[in-house]
């Protein structure tokens, strides 16, 4: 059975990153910015991220798990669909197109200090999982 520890990251979409940074700077501390995103440190250590990437159409919550590979298998067993980033920075079901960022078989993305995975439930909602390394 999958055990979700806590919410660690919430990604909000933005089409105007600078306007979003200005707004969020009034309520949080900017800790990182690059061309496509910005990260703020939120309450209780929750990262608030702003993203211009096209796959972020609405807020996406990432839950912390102890073992992302085990959690990935559990999500699939429970009927979720693994998603991956494909060309153009959009999400699609793993196996439908070539994965541009992440493991081509699972969609799991390795970043410095963290692994991430995104799933789609049968109702169409997306959920993210992350494991700190």
Q: Where are the domains of the chain?
A: 7-132
58 phi, psi to nearest 5 deg: -155, 165
Rounded Cα–Cα distance for residues 32 and 47 (Å): 11
pLDDT tens digit sequence for 17-49 = 888 888 888 887 878 778 778 887 777 778 888
* pTM of the predicted structure, to 2 decimals: 0.84
Max CA distance (Å), the chain? 42
The reply to whether CATH 3.30.470.20 applies to domain 7-132 is no
SS3 for 77? helix
- Could you list the beta-strand ranges (E) of the chain: 7-13, 29-33, 37-41, 47-51, 60-64, 81-86, 90-93, 99-101, 109-111, 114-120, 126-132
pLDDT tens digit sequence for 55-102 = 777 889 999 999 999 999 999 999 999 999 888 878 889 999 998 889
Rounded Cα–Cα distance for residues 48 and 31 (Å): 10
Specify the pLDDT at position 24. Answer: 85
């Amino acid at each position: 059975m999958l055990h979700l520890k806590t919410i660690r990251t919430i990604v909000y979409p933005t089409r105007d990153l600078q306007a979003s940074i200005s707004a969020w700077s009034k309520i949080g501390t900017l800790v990182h910015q690059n061309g496509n995103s910005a990260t703020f440190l939120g309450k209780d250590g929750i990262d608030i991220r702003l993203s211009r990437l096209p796959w972020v159409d609405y807020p996406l919550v990432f839950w912390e798990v102890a073992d992302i590979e085990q959690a990935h298998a559990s999500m699939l067993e429970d009927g979720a669909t693994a998603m991956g980033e494909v060309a153009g920075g959009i999400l699609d079901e793993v196996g439908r197109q070539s994965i541009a960022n992440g493991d081509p078989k699972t969609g799991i993305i390795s970043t410095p200090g963290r692994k991430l995975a995104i799933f789609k439930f049968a109702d169409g909602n997306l959920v993210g999982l992350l494991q700190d390394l």
